[in-house]
Amino acid sequence: MAVLSQEAVASLAKRLEQAQLTGATINKVTDDYPNLDWGDAYNIQWAIRQRKLDRGGRIVGLKMGLTSWAKMRQMGVETPIYGFLVDEFSVPDGGVVDAGKLIHPRVEAEIAVVTGRELRGPGCQVAQVAAAIDCVLPAIEVIDSRYENFRFDLPSVISDNCSAARFCVGGITRRLKDLDLKTLGVVLEKNGEVVETGAGAAVLGHPLNSVAMLANLLSERGPQELNTIPAGTFILTGAVTAAVAVQAGDAVRARHQGLGAISLRFA
Ligand code: 0L1
Ligand code: MG
C-alpha cells in the first residue's frame, strides 16, 4: 500500500531527476520517508518518466535490474525490479559518454531483445515470451546510482529508476531461433583487458525469464497505459556480468557470442 501523498511523490521525483541531470548525489528517499514502500517507489519512478515525457523525451525501452540471484540475495529480495529507458540515455555503438555528467558510472554487459508481439501478465511464461521476441541484440548498460557510494535500499533504487543512466546497442541483430540465450557467452573488456565474463544464464537462469517477469510485474503494478509490454519494445534483460566501475579515459568493449562487439568510450 502506497503511503506518500501526490505532492511528496512529485517532489521526490523532481529531486531524483535533478540529481540525474546534474550528476549530483542526494540522500536516499527513505531517509526522509522511512515507511515508503514499493508502491510509492514505482509511483516516484513513473513521475520521473512523466517529467521526461512532458519535456519532449521519448521512452525507448524498459530495463530489468537485480536479475542475478546473487544480487537479489544481497538486497534481500526475491523479485527483480524494472525501470525505463529514455532517448537521452542512448549512446551509439563506438560513441563517447561524458563522464562529467555522471556520478560514479559502472558498466554491465547485457542481452537486449525487441518484442514483436504484445506480452501481458499475470501468468506470462517463457514459452509466450519466446514466441513474442522479434530479435536479440548485444548491449552495454551504464548504471549510475544517484545515492552516495551506490548505497541504497530497494524502495530507494526503484525510485531512482534502477540507476539507469546510459545504454548502447549495436553489433549484430539476430533471430531468437538462431541463438541459445542461456549459454550465450559474453566477455567485457576495459582498456583492452578482460574484466568480466559471463553467460546468459546469469540472468535469472535465462534472459527470457526476465522478460516474462517484467510482463508479470507490469501487470501487477503498472499504471493503466503501462501494464503490458507492447509489440516493438526494446528491453535490457539484466546484467550478464558484474558491474564494472569506469571513469573518464576508459574504453569499454563487450563481445557477445554470435552477436559481435560493441564499444563505448568515457571522456
Ligand atoms: O541494471 C541493474 O541491474 C541495476 C539495478 C539497480 C541496482 C544497482 O544500481 O546496482
Ligand atoms: Mg542493468
At residue 226, the pLDDT reads: 80
Q: Which of 27-31, 197-201, 226-230 has the lowest mean pLDDT?
A: 226-230
Identify the pLDDT of residue 126.
Answer: 97
Examine the pLDDT at 154 and tell me if it is beyond 80: yes
The reply to whether ligand 1 has any atom less than 6 angstroms from the CB of 202 is no
Rounded Cα distance between 20 and 249, Å, is 21
Under 8 Å between Cβ of 199 and 186: yes
Output the CA 120–ligand 1 centroid distance in Å: 24
The reported pLDDT for the residue numbered 223 is 66
% of the chain with per-residue pLDDT over 70: 99
| Distance between Cα 236 and ligand 2 center (Å) | 7
Q: Which atom of ligand 1 is nearest to the CA of 236?
A: 1
What is the phi/psi pair of residue 42, to 5°?
-65, -35
Tens of pLDDT, residue by residue over 77-124, are 888 999 999 999 999 999 999 999 999 999 999 999 999 999 999 999
Whether 143 lines ligand 1, by a CB cut-off of 6 Å, is yes
Position 71 pLDDT exceeds 90: no
**Measured in angstroms, how far is the CA atom of residue 246 from the centroid of ligand 1?**
15
239 Cβ inside 6 Å of ligand 1: yes
Cα–Cα distance for residue pair 78/72, rounded to 1 Å = 6
Q: Where residue 33 falls among pLDDT bands split at 50, 70, 90?
A: very high
The confidence score (pLDDT) of residue 30 equals 96
Domains in the chain: boundaries: 59-266
Mean pLDDT, to the nearest integer, of 173-199?
97
- Please give the number of the atom of ligand 1 that sits closest to the Cα of 145: 9
Q: Model pTM greater than 0.95?
A: yes
CA–chain centroid gap for 266, Å, is: 19
> Which H or E run includes 218?
helix 207-221
Q: Which atom of ligand 1 is nearest to the CA of 63?
A: 1
Q: Give the mean pLDDT of the chain.
A: 95
**Mean pLDDT of the region 241-247:** 95
Q: Is the shortest distance between the CB of 110 and ligand 1 below 6 Å?
A: no
* CATH class of the region 59-266: alpha beta
pLDDT at 25: 97
d(CA 128, CA 125): 5
Going by their DSSP bridges, the two strands 234-239 and 251-256 should be labelled as unpaired
Task: Please determine, for residue 1, whether its predicted confidence score (pLDDT) is greater than 90.
Answer: no
Q: Are 139 and 167 in contact (CB under 8 A)?
A: yes
Instruction: Name the grid cell of 149.
Output: 557510494
* Interval 147-174 mean pLDDT: 95
Question: Measuring CA to CA, how many Å separate 27 from each of 38, 55, 141, 146, 212?
Answer: 18, 25, 24, 9, 33
CA distance 255 to 204: 20
Ligand 2 centroid–CA 239 distance in Å is: 5
Q: How confident is the model at residue 245 (pLDDT cuts 50, 70, 90)?
A: very high
161 lines ligand 1 (CB under 6 A): no
Residue nearest to atom 1 of ligand 1 (CA): 65
pLDDT-derived band of residue 193, with 50, 70 and 90 as boundaries? Answer: very high
pLDDT at 75: 77
pLDDT band at residue 222, thresholds of 50, 70 and 90? low
